[in-house]
Amino acid sequence: MNIYLFQGNSVLLPETVPDTGLAQGVPLGALEELRAAGRTEGGTVPGLDSFTVPALEEEEASARIEGVSVNADFPLPPHWRALPVRQGLSLVSPEKTIDGKGPVGRLLRAYHIAQWRRDSTYCGSCGTKNTDAPDELARLCPSCGRREYPRISPAVITLITNDRGEALLAHNRKFAGGVYSLIAGFNEAGESLEATVIREIREEVGLEVKDIRYIASQPWPFPNSLMLGFTARHASGEIHPDGEEIMDARWFNPAKLPSLPGFGSVSRYLINRWIGGNL
Ligand SMILES: [Zn+2]
């Protein structure tokens, strides 16, 4: 059995596991090596949080996840390294599924839970230190009984096309290099996903859209999003980048594209399906 080890936003890998193996987890024996590095003279290992995540409904029970996360100052064994999960993702999932299944899905799920555990150490209502609920994946306050579940924040991402067979790609100021991608944004309280699609596109590039259609979703735990991929057709308006998030936006022909987002993301998945005439 393998185990997922985390520190901050990184997965921890011993020398024997290459970067491309990050989604498989590491052999259980590696945990002993890690524990040994953090063991104090008294024999305790402070700053280490172990957790188990049951398998998803459609998976076999053996697909449950064993994970451990360690504090930022936890000493790593010699020759170990911390690989940022988001950076490692592009190494392992070219063209692979984005549906949360398989090793990549398990890695992302383990990472999501590890971060949630770190952020839910204390009860959000009365401040008492939480325990783990015995019957489900939840934190349980031993004082006031409040349960806290892993937070999931829905966000939409939309591939907009026009009548000339072009798609709108935009450069966000947060994107590295000259990457162009799709318009995305978070769902707000009380808002339908379709309304989020319309609002985000209107705010960021000044266009009106129609024929909104859901395509696929992807768990995206950076830190806790669920990306919901849509397509929409241009209805009216000219492109006006907002100048705050979106620095440039243009219509692109599939034969001549800019730098695209990495494989393994729902944005690239939607773009590739559009290029392949499969939307
Ligand atoms: Zn409480």
On whether the CB atoms of residues 274 and 159 are closer than 8 A, the answer is yes
113 with 166, same domain: the answer is no
State the pLDDT at residue 15: 94
Confidence category of residue 94, pLDDT binned at 50, 70, 90: low
Residue at 66 is within a domain: yes
Q: Does pLDDT of 95 surpass 60? A: no
Residue 199 pLDDT class (50, 70, 90 cuts)? very high
Residues with Cβ–ion distance below 5 A, ligand 1: 123, 125-126, 128, 141, 143-144, 146
- Please check whether residue 50 lies inside any domain of the structure: yes
More confident residue, 262 or 277: 277
Contact 229, 269 (CB under 8 A): yes
The model carries a pTM of 0.89
Three-state secondary structure call for residue 81: strand
Instruction: Give the residue-averaged pLDDT of 7-16.
Output: 96
**Residue 61: what pLDDT?**
74
The pLDDT, as a whole number, for residue 57 is 78
- Domain end: 96, 119, 142, which one? 119
Tell which residue, 204, 192, 189, has the closest CA to residue 246: 204
Model pLDDT, residue 99: 67
Share of the chain above pLDDT 90, in %: 78
Q: Looking at the structure, do residues 79 and 181 belong to the same domain, yes or no?
A: no
User: Do 157 and 79 have their domain in common?
Assistant: no
**Cα 120 to ligand 1 centre (Å):** 11
Domain harbouring 257, CATH code: 3.90.79.10
22/112 same-domain check: yes
pLDDT at 64 over 90: no
The answer to the question of residue 143 being in a domain is no
Per the CB < 8 A criterion, the answer to whether 260 and 149 are in contact is no
Domain boundary among 100, 119, 138: 119
Look up the domain containing 216 and give its range: 153-275
Q: State which of 119, 141, 176 marks the end of a domain.
A: 119
Q: How many Å lie between the centroid of ligand 1 and the Cα of residue 152?
A: 21
